[in-house]
Every structure is written in structure tokens, then in C-alpha cells.
């Protein structure tokens, strides 16, 4: 049993991993950023061991199917809508929140489908998005120094030193709540979410005074007609026919959680992270020599890679080579998160660098993380910046002869007040009305629909 000192807890490596060059815990030998240090290594080991023996949340077939669909998005034959909370919370694992997320994801995707005429791949930031990277280790609240909040997977957001102490049992709780969430999402899919073609189900009233309202109304009527037509001519409602797949994804940040659910499956090569269909590498943990890349290089799941302007050509090339040496199509999604003002300047170089490596990638645009600012004490984003970044990304990809294959949004189906702007005209004074996020500000239901219409207009040209 080899134990090397590093900044993370060194738990016992299971005997069956011995002599493997890569295994689900080989990353513990690398420099690991953003992973909490647990006060009790034995307690971590115990939770890890129990988590390893619980059944998987998803299957390897679903992962392989998603990879094939992502390959289509890379070629411009499908479009990816990835969206959900910045940070899921244990408390947020409720029926209305899950239903609302499903509803907004479906409605946004139907608007995109209507305009792009391409299959839309829905991927939620859901059922496992419980860990967050932070720029500061600690903060002082009411004169007390405590660890910064790193997600419900790690500790409670409550502002006491005790509540902020990392608790490994929360890995099991996160797994449980992810299972409950996925179970309900699957049930909603199977039932076909039958109410969707009721006109009242689309809440467009907030748009009434918008100059494009009639056009948007027309789009919704067309969508409803198509749904009714399919319902009339086929045995099954359209929605069940198309399978309301909502794939799951989260940031592969808390590697103990992901490693415990990384398994081999019968009659297939390689290792699968069976906690989530897709995982992504965060912008803060993308060191090609670091722990997160070491973990991700060993799994078969599709992998998102967040990139901003600070990544060097060499780093990007090394990342692609490490994460996808076989150059498998649909395996890597590069997610630019540059900021509205930086996209025109920096995206062309990223596209050219990726192209020069010869690696197949699916491009996505995260218009959220480069556009955050503080309004007083709360983090917010301007709807207009979000829209501007997506629009610029479409233009740059076009000009470079490249394809924007998707968008990555922090959004919710709830009526929160976290981002400013949009037709409902939320301003900074209104932010505290329903500011619920534990981390970054999300587009609310109305802003998400409005953005979908704007993306649709853009795609249509
Ligand atoms: C996130 O997606 O919530 C996030 C932290 O993004 P990034 O790694 O791009 O900053
Ligand atoms: Co975020």
C-alpha cells in the first residue's frame, strides 16, 4: 500500500487497484486543488467505501449514447442545451424545483428545435452538482473565521465554524439526493410530461409588451400544433416518442465522490463514472499535470473543459492530448467562458489552437462565468451581457469556419431574482426579492425563455 503525502486526505487504496497505472484514486498522488481536507481520514474512508458499494445512478449505455449524440453536435447536426443550478442544494431536492427545471429545459429546447430544426440535446447541471470551487479558503463572518462554502456535498452553508467543517457523510447524502432527483426526472420523462401542449403551460404573459411578442406567440402555437399533430397520428404522444432525455452532468471537482462511483462494467473496456452522464473540468482545476486531469483521463464519459483567456496554447494542446488520446469524437466539449467583452478578442485563438491539434471537439459557450459582477454585496449578471456573449460566440465560430454546438447556462425554472435585465426589467434594487442561489446568479424562468427566443432569432439570422 503506497501512501504519498499531498494536500488531500490519503485514504487506503483498494487492493484491486494495485499495480494499475491509472485507477479511480491515482489522482491522489497529484497536486489536488479545491478538494476539502477532512479532519478525520478514517471517516472519509468509511464513507468512500460505502459509496463504492451502492448501485450506480446511470448506465454505461447511456454514457455511450450521449457521446454519439455529442459527436453530432460537433458536426453541427445537433445542438446542446446544458443548464441548471450553479450549485444544487440538498434543500432544493423537491418536487416543484425538479418539475420546474424539467419544464424550462423542455420549453427552451423546443424553441431552439423549432428554429434550428436540429435535435436538441438536453443536459442538466443536475443530480450531482453539489460541490463548488472557491477563490478563497476562508472568510470572516460576524468576527468568526470559517471555511468558505464549497457546496452541500462538503458542508452546510450555515455560518458557523462547526457547520463549515467538511463532513464526509455528506457524500452519501449527495448520492442519495442525486438518485432521488434522477428517479423523478426519469419518471417525468416516462409519463411524457403530458401537460406541455396546454397553452397555459407556457407562461409568456411577461412578454406581452415586447416588440417580438406576436412572433414568439406564433412560435409557441407552431410547437403546440406539432405536438398535437404527432399525438393524433401516432400511438404515443410526441414527448414519449422522442424520449424526454435529460442527461445529467456536474463538475468533476470533488474527486472522492466521483472516484467512489467510477466502475468497470461487464463486457466493456475502461472505467465509467456512473454518477453522471457527463462531467466537466472547471476553469480553476484544469492544470494538465494536476489531480483533476489525472482522474478525468481515465474515464469513458464525455468531458466538458471550461476555458478562459488565460489558457495557453500549449496547455490546451496538452489537455486535449491527455483527455482524449484516441481522438474519439463526442468525447470532449470545450466550453468557452470568456465574458461578453472578451469573446471577439480571444475566442478566435482558442478555436485555431484546438483546430491545429487535429482533435475533434464540440464547442459550447458558457456566457455566465465571464460576466459576473457584484451589485452591493450580491453577485449578479446582466441578461444583456449573457445574450451578447452568445451572439458574439456564434459570429466568431462562423467567421472561423467553426461550429458552435451548444450553450451552457446557469438557469432555473423558478421565479428568482438573481440576474438583472431582460424584458421583465429586473434592476439591481430588485435583486434581493427572491435571491436564492447558494453560489452564482441564475437566469429565471422568464429570462431563460427570452434568451431561447433570442438565440433562435440569432440562429435564424
Ligand atoms: C461553474 O460552472 O459553476 C464554474 C465554477 O465555472 P468555471 O469553472 O468556468 O468558473
Ligand atoms: Co457557477
Domains of the chain: 23-460 (3.20.20.70)
Distance from the alpha carbon of residue 57 to the mean position of ligand 1, in angstroms: 23
Least confident of 52-56, 309-313, 410-414, 454-458: 454-458
Distance from the alpha carbon of residue 150 to the mean position of ligand 2, in angstroms: 12
Helices (H), 288-433: 291-296, 313-323, 343-357, 383-399
Strands (E), 184-297: 247-251, 262-264, 271-273, 278-281
Q: Give the pLDDT band (50/70/90) at residue 239.
A: low
Which pLDDT score, from 0 to 100, does residue 323 have?
98
The helix (H) or strand (E) run that includes residue 394 is: helix 383-399
Three-class DSSP category at 6: coil
The pTM of this model reads 0.96
Identify which of 132, 369, 411 to mutate to test ligand 1's pocket (most ligand atoms within 8 A of the CB): 369
Residue list, ligand 1 pocket, CB within 6 Å: 86, 133, 251, 282-284, 306, 337, 369, 440
Distance from the alpha carbon of residue 118 to the mean position of ligand 2, in angstroms: 27
Name the closest-CA residue to atom 4, ligand 1. Answer: 282
Residues 120, 241 contacting (CB under 8 angstroms): no
Other beta carbons less than 10 A from residue 282's beta carbon: 20
Residues 302, 331 contacting (CB under 8 angstroms): yes
Is the pLDDT confidence value at 268 over 90? Answer: yes
Q: Give the pLDDT band (50/70/90) at residue 228.
A: confident
Is the pLDDT confidence value at 2 over 50? Answer: no
Measure the CA–CA gap between 351 and 98, rounded to whole angstroms.
Answer: 35
Atom of ligand 1 at shortest range from CA of 408 = 2
| Averaged pLDDT, 445-459 | 93
Distance from the alpha carbon of residue 296 to the mean position of ligand 2, in angstroms: 20
Atom of ligand 1 at shortest range from CA of 251 = 2
Amino acid at each position: 500500500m503506497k501512501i504519498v503525502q499531498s494536500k488531500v486526505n490519503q485514504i487506503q487504496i483498494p487492493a484491486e487497484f494495485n499495480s494499475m497505472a491509472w485507477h479511480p484514486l491515482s489522482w491522489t498522488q497529484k497536486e489536488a486543488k479545491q478538494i476539502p481536507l477532512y479532519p478525520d481520514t478514517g471517516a472519509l474512508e468509511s464513507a468512500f467505501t460505502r459509496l463504492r458499494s451502492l448501485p450506480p445512478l446511470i448506465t454505461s449505455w447511456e454514457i455511450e449514447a450521449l457521446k454519439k449524440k455529442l459527436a453530432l453536435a460537433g458536426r453541427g447536426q445537433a445542438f446542446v442545451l446544458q443548464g441548471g443550478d450553479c450549485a444544487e442544494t440538498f434543500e432544493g431536492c423537491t418536487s416543484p424545483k425538479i418539475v420546474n427545471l424539467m419544464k424550462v429545459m423542455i420549453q427552451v429546447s423546443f424553441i431552439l428545435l423549432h428554429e434550428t430544426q436540429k435535435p436538441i440535446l438536453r443536459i442538466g447541471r443536475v443530480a450531482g452538482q453539489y460541490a463548488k470551487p472557491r477563490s478563497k479558503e476562508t472568510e470572516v463572518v460576524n468576527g468568526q473565521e470559517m471555511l468558505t462554502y464549497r457546496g452541500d456535498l462538503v458542508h452546510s452553508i450555515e455560518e458557523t465554524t462547526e457547520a463549515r467543517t467538511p463532513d464526509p457523510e455528506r457524500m452519501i447524502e449527495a448520492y442519495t439526493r442525486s438518485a432521488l432527483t434522477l428517479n423523478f426526472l426519469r419518471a417525468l420523462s416516462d409519463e411524457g410530461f403530458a401537460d406541455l401542449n396546454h397553452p397555459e403551460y407556457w407562461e409568456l404573459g411577461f412578454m406581452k409588451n415586447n416588440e417580438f411578442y406576436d412572433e414568439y406567440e406564433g412560435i409557441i402555437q407552431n410547437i403546440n400544433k406539432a405536438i398535437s399533430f404527432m399525438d393524433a397520428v401516432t400511438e404515443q404522444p410526441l414527448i414519449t416518442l422522442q424520449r424526454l432525455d435529460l442527461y445529467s452532468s456536474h463538475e468533476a471537482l470533488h474527486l472522492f465522490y466521483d472516484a467512489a462511483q467510477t466502475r468497470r462494467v461487464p463486457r466493456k473496456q475502461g472505467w465509467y463514472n456512473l454518477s453522471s452522464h457527463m462531467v466537466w473540468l472547471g476553469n480553476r482545476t484544469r492544470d494538465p499535470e494536476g489531480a483533476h486531469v489525472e482522474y478525468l483521463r481515465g474515464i469513458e464519459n464525455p468531458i466538458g473543459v471550461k476555458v478562459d483567456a488565460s489558457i495557453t496554447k500549449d496547455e490546451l494542446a496538452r489537455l486535449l492530448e491527455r483527455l482524449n488520446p484516441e481522438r474519439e469524437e463526442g468525447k470532449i466539449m470545450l466550453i468557452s467562458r470568456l465574458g461578453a467583452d472578451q469573446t471577439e478578442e480571444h475566442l478566435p485563438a482558442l478555436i485555431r489552437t484546438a483546430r491545429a491539434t487535429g482533435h475533434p471537439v464540440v464547442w459550447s459557450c458558457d456566457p455566465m462565468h465571464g460576466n459576473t459582477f457584484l451589485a452591493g454585496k450580491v453577485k449578479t449578471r446582466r441578461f444583456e451581457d449573457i445574450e451578447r456573449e452568445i451572439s458574439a460566440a456564434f459570429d466568431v465560430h462562423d467567421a472561423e469556419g467553426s461550429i458552435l454546438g451548444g450553450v451552457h447556462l446557469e438557469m432555473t425554472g423558478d421565479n428568482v431574482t438573481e440576474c438583472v435585465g431582460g424584458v421583465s426589467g429586473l434592476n439591481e434594487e430588485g435583486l434581493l426579492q427572491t435571491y436564492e442561489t447558494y453560489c452564482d446568479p441564475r437566469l429565471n424562468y422568464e429570462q431563460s425563455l427570452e434568451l431561447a427566443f433570442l438565440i433562435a432569432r440569432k440562429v435564424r439570422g
